[in-house]
Amino acid sequence: MKKTILMQKYPVYSLELSKEEIKVSSADEAVEYFKEKIINHPIAEFIAIFDHYSHTKKLGGEMIDGLKDAKNIVFCFGQAIPNTKILAARPRSIGICEFKDKIVIDFMEAPREELHTVMENWAKGLKR
């Protein structure tokens, strides 16, 4: 996984996978893969799928060249509310972008290292 700082403040982790090296062949299949991981996790709660591609297309918004699909799977690991600010870091989202020959997975760094590791392992688990 590659860590970058988006807009000089958001720590984002990315994994770019060739379609030849992964278990899925589309963004929709990747969404289902992550949904299963979330549902089977002892504290994660599935919330929704957001079709970012259709939303942006409907608005006439700009999109990166070659993008075929873009979805977010929204979920939460929250098992405690120790303060009001923790809600700003929740829920979590994993972005899934499909191109002709690859799928790109992106998510922001989680506040708890062990849950961040869970998301990294889920993403890496897409490899054959």
- Residue 37 per-residue DSSP state: H
Q: How many domains does the chain have?
A: 1
Q: Is 28 within the bounds of a domain?
A: yes
What local confidence, expressed as pLDDT, does residue 79 receive? 87
What local confidence, expressed as pLDDT, does residue 59 receive? 97
Q: Is 110 within the bounds of a domain?
A: yes
Output the domain CATH number for residue 37: 3.30.310
| Dihedral in degrees, nearest 10, Cα atoms 68, 105, 126, 75 | -110
Q: Is 22 within the bounds of a domain?
A: yes
Q: What are phi and psi of 30, to 5 degrees?
A: -65, -40
Q: Is 60 within the bounds of a domain?
A: yes
Q: Is 4 within the bounds of a domain?
A: no
What local confidence, expressed as pLDDT, does residue 77 receive? 92
Contacts for 123 with CB less than 8 Å, ≥ 6 apart: 1, 13, 15, 94, 105, 107
- List, for the chain, all residue ranges whose pLDDT scores fall below the cut of 50: none
Q: Is 6 within the bounds of a domain?
A: no
The DSSP string of 11-27 is: EEEEEEEEGGGBS-SSH
Q: Is 95 within the bounds of a domain?
A: yes
Q: Give the residue among 17, 49, 47 at the shortest CA–CA distance from 31.
A: 49
Q: Is 5 within the bounds of a domain?
A: no
* Structural domain range at position 114: 12-124
